[in-house]
Amino acid sequence: MESGFSSFADHEILELLLFYAYPQRDTNELAHRFINEYGSLYALMSDTPQNIMHRLNVTENIAVLLSSLLKINERVLTSHFKRGEYMGSFSRAAQYLHAMLATRPYEMSYAICLNSGKELIKAVELGRGNEAVSEVNGMLLARECAVLKPEFVILGHNHPSGESTPSDDDIAMTNAVMSALLPLGVRVLDHIIICSANWSESFSFAKNGML
């Protein structure tokens, strides 16, 4: 309560969390076993409840708790961005994408769907990959847009490596999405790459004349 988690090792953070799931029980051994099995807190908490139950031999309640924390954290970080909020500026869109993507150790891609006033309708996850590749499904986005009926879309993904320059795959993906949305009359305003701890350093396709 006095100094937070700055001095905690990963297993100690997990030990504290498990203490609330297993009251009046020493959870140190469990925490070490869980970390040893998965290798990191992130690997553990990004797994599915079903896999956690199988690999760790824990109850469904514990598995759901552990697998929910990252999703809860993402919701907390993005909770001040409300449906209907203006997202037509680079700064606001980059801040929103940064809240969702900055801490991800692998690439993820999103599309921010906006109405005619460039106000937030919904962020749609397009794909996720390993540390270097993000597989994006343009047709998935087209189907979502057919339901949501946005006027504009802002694409976004992260580069865990910190490299700001878009790859050939990033450029090809942008063009593929633009082609998929063209029959629907949906315009891609920007493609933003989250590449550092500061949202303002994100790469913008629009700012660099690449759209």
Q: What is the pLDDT of residues 129-174, one digit of tens each?
A: 755 555 567 788 888 999 999 999 999 999 988 999 999 989 988 9
| pLDDT one digit per residue (tens) for the chain, 211 residues | 777 887 888 899 999 889 888 887 889 999 999 999 999 888 899 889 999 999 999 999 999 999 998 878 777 766 676 788 899 999 999 999 998 888 787 888 999 999 999 999 999 988 877 555 555 677 888 889 999 999 999 999 999 889 999 999 899 889 989 998 999 999 999 999 999 888 999 999 999 999 9
102 CB neighbour count, 10 Å cutoff: 17
Q: What is the pTM of this model?
A: 0.72
Between 90-101 and 60-78, two packed helices, what is the crossing angle to 10 degrees?
Answer: 160
Residue 63 three-state SS: helix
150 CB neighbour count, 10 Å cutoff: 27
Distance CA 136, CA 144 (A): 14
* Contacts of 76 by beta carbon, 8 Å cutoff, 6+ apart: none
Residue 122 gets which letter from DSSP? E
169 CB neighbour count, 10 Å cutoff: 15
Strands (E), 80-119: 108-114
What local confidence, expressed as pLDDT, does residue 79 receive? 67
Topology (CATH) of 80-204: Cytidine Deaminase; domain 2 (3.40.140)
